[in-house]
Amino acid sequence: MKTKILATLLLATLTCGGISTAYLIPAIAKTPVANTTANRVYTTANPAVVTIRGNSAWGSGFIISADGYVITNAHVVKGQPAVVTLMMADGKTEIPADLVGFGKDGLDLALLKINRRGQKFPTVDLSQTTSRVGDNTYAIGTPFDEAFKNTLTTGIVSAIRADGNYIQHNANINKGNSGGPLLNDRGEVIGVNTLGIGRDTGNIGLNLAISANLVRQFVSEARQGKSSPVATIDD
């Protein structure tokens, strides 16, 4: 009897000291880390974001229809050839796109069309909801150089300007981000990144995006042939 008691005590002592492996608690499998909202937004929207290359400049844009309509800023393609080159998100595929038209009355938007019949392209949706101050924002584009294509930055809506036509936000954008999408938590486009104060020397978090409502109206008119054939923005 004493032998059994001693054996039991010895086993307990060794186990408490971390030596025995007889009664180790099985390892609990770790739950995989869930994708963050930013990751989900990027995964959803990025395939539809393109780098736009002209003769002497580049910018960003995004595909809004499976048949190849693309939105960007007018200042990205102003003075460029009627046919520009789009670099797809995979970094390998280059596709030509025709200029359809520009925004009227100084609206800094342009519509392009990829002419590849029968081919379906990844798209991103224009948001139908109203953005509010404090909402999360996500910007995707090609800042500074094509080597940085499809870069994601995050921030919040800082203010709503000009009767809701412009969204002020602080997601980092720089030269080359122009024309790229500003997105919400659902990966929908709430605006087109157009202006970043101080972005030529380093962004300071004061940025403006043309709201999705203006974009939707412009696309509707442009597809009906009611856009301007020339850029109407100031130099």
Kindly list the catalytic residues. 75, 108, 178
The β-bridge relationship of strands 58-63 and 207-211 is unpaired
What does the angle CA 126 – CA 232 – CA 61 come to, to the nearest 5 degrees? 35
Quote the DSSP letter at residue 228: B
Contacts 24+ apart (CB under 8 A), 148-153: 148/176, 149/51, 149/87, 149/89, 149/91, 150/46, 150/49, 150/51, 150/89, 150/91, 152/38, 152/41, 152/42, 152/46
